[in-house]
Chain A
Amino acid sequence: MSKDKHGETQMTHEKVQKKLLLFLDADLSFEEMQKIRDHLSLCPVCKKKHDALAALWRHPVPPIREAPTPGLWLKVQARIRGNRVLPAKRRTVSGMPAWILQPLGALVLIISILLGLYLGSPVTPAEQVAVQQDNTGVEWGLDHFDMLPPTTLGSSLIEGSAIKN
């Protein structure tokens, strides 16, 4: 809440918008309802949002009168007598029964893990030797980089500055 020029507490737009559904259902205290009402009378932006929400929220809730199918009582009766009526088996889009997908999913997961372990396994001894050879090559190259010819651009510049001094 912020204070207006008269020093009275005023609700911010964000707070008002958050409470609009509660306001529409009169689920707030009398004081809060009054504050929101005052804010809406002054703020066209929040008023617009209030009207939009009211259109969505206050429209009559369509009554569902889904009467259970006539055979349902017979099923309940059968269950009471001890003959359990099993629900219709679910089938997936592919036409496979749903129960088969559980073990299938687990199998795919195990295969993926094994494949991942195989592909990401540590290098073989032969590969290790090859890697070591490569490293030796790099080290050799670096050693030779240190031994620069005596007249490089850098050394001639250093020499030039020494002469000037």
Chain B
Amino acid sequence: MIEKQRNEDPLAFEDLFMRFSPMVCNVLYRMLRNKQDAEEITQEVFFQAYKSIKDFRAEAQLSTWLYRIAVNLGLNHQRKRKYERWLCLDLYSLKDEHHSLNYPDKISLGPADTMVRQETETIVREAIDALPEKQRTAVILSRYEGLPYEEIARILEISLASVESRLHRAKKTLAKKLLEFQERKK
């Protein structure tokens, strides 16, 4: 696919988009919690990928490379939105970001089960959102994308020890927050 793309085969990039766009869109949706923003950045990810695919080194996996672009652009977007919100008091976006995610599920659950499951996930999700940016990204890639630590290290361009350290600290903070939540619930 990469070779075809390098030879400027117009269909090759469309194939690449069709294959990887759900993955890119999902990780951005997890990071930004807003479908419109996720699609906007997905568009940007593939545009950047198109521009720099000639420089892509075959030793890296294509998915890792696309994840890396997506995570970097997603983080930039998050910082920009944070700054805009601070400057403009953009209440609309604040409201939008606090919507719980809508999880389409293949396993059919009863309404009560679905509710409990969504509530549980919202609690965990809010605790994750409160983490520092670097730890949060590592947790999203590990917990939600199910990526091994080695791949997270390649995506974030950090050492394996740094990934372990970030996740270690994140999980300690999360344990504290989730236990506090359980205490308050009582």
A residues with a Cβ closer than 8 A to B are 17-22, 25, 27, 49, 52-53, 55-57, 59, 61-69, 72-73, 75-76, 79-80, 85, 87-88, 90-93, 98, 101-102, 105
Contact = CB atoms under 8 A, between A and B. Distances in A.
Interface string B144-157: 10000000000000
B101 A64 contact: yes
Nearest to A18: B172
Given A25-B171, A76-B43, A63 B106 contact: yes
A94 to B, nearest CB: 9
B178 A57 contact: yes
Contacts of A59: 117, 120-121
Contacts of A92: 88, 90-92
B25 A67 contact: yes
Interface of B: 13-14, 17-18, 21-22, 25-26, 29-30, 35-36, 38-40, 42-43, 46-47, 50, 84, 87-93, 95, 101, 103-106, 117-118, 120-121, 123-124, 143-144, 164, 167-168, 171-172, 174-176, 178-179, 182
A63 B159 CA distance: 28
CB-based closest 9 A-B pairs: A62-B103, A101-B88, A21-B171, A21-B175, A68-B25, A79-B47, A76-B46, A87-B40, A93-B91
Most A CB contacts (10 A, CB to CB) among B18, B29, B90 go to B90
Contacts of B22: 65-68
A79 B45 CA distance: 11
A64 B140 CA distance: 13
Contact of A72 (B39, B95, B120): B39
B80 to A, nearest CB: 12
Contacts of B89: 101, 105
A65 B101 CA distance: 11
A67 B121 CA distance: 21
B117 A18 contact: no
Contacts of A68: 21-22, 25, 39, 42
Nearest to A96: B88
A19 B22 CA distance: 34
B147 to A, nearest CB: 13
A151 B82 CA distance: 76
Contacts of A73: 14, 17-18, 21
